[in-house]
């Protein structure tokens, strides 16, 4: 099976001076990483190729996470999503955002049809 995955991360966080040497300590601003935990998997009944992706987040207070798309309707919980790819739309850039009172972070992953012909 072939699949292509590319991730990018952007963060918005405030910092405070930790010492006179210029070291900084991050506030409770969120971080977010995306990881495929299943897929690509072919579903012949629907003729789709799906991925299941989970977000790993940090931050204080605990961030809320939103995904640009979730074809599972939320069945996997607030930190996981399923993306269904169709032959006529074989690519999707999934974006996730983590937000709390200290800031926000975004991450994207490119999912490509990887279920063969």
Placement of tokens 């409770």 in the chain: 28
According to the model, what pLDDT value does residue 79 have?
98
According to the model, what pLDDT value does residue 48 have?
96
Q: What is the mean pLDDT of each run of 10 residues along the chain (117 residues)?
A: 39 29 58 98 95 98 97 96 96 98 97 88
In 13-89, the DSSP E strands lie at 15-17, 24-26, 31-43, 48-58, 64-67, 80-86
38 Cβ partners below 8 Å, 6+ apart? 51, 52
According to the model, what pLDDT value does residue 66 have?
98
Half-sphere exposure of 4 (CA within 13 A, CB side): 8
According to the model, what pLDDT value does residue 78 have?
96
According to the model, what pLDDT value does residue 19 have?
28
Q: What is the CATH number of domain 27-112?
A: 2.60.40.10
According to the model, what pLDDT value does residue 117 have?
63
According to the model, what pLDDT value does residue 53 have?
98
């Amino acid at each position: 099976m072939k699949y292509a995955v590319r991730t990018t991360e952007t963060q918005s966080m405030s910092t405070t001076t930790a010492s006179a040497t210029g070291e900084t300590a991050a506030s409770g601003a969120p971080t977010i990483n995306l990881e495929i935990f299943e897929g690509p998997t072919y579903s012949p009944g629907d003729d789709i190729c799906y991925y299941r992706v989970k977000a790993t987040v940090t931050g204080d207070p605990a961030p809320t996470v939103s995904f640009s798309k979730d074809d599972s309707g939320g069945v996997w919980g607030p930190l996981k999503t399923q993306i269904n790819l169709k032959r006529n739309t074989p690519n999707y850039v999934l974006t996730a955002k983590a937000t709390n009172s200290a800031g926000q972070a975004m991450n994207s992953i490119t999912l490509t049809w990887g279920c063969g012909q």
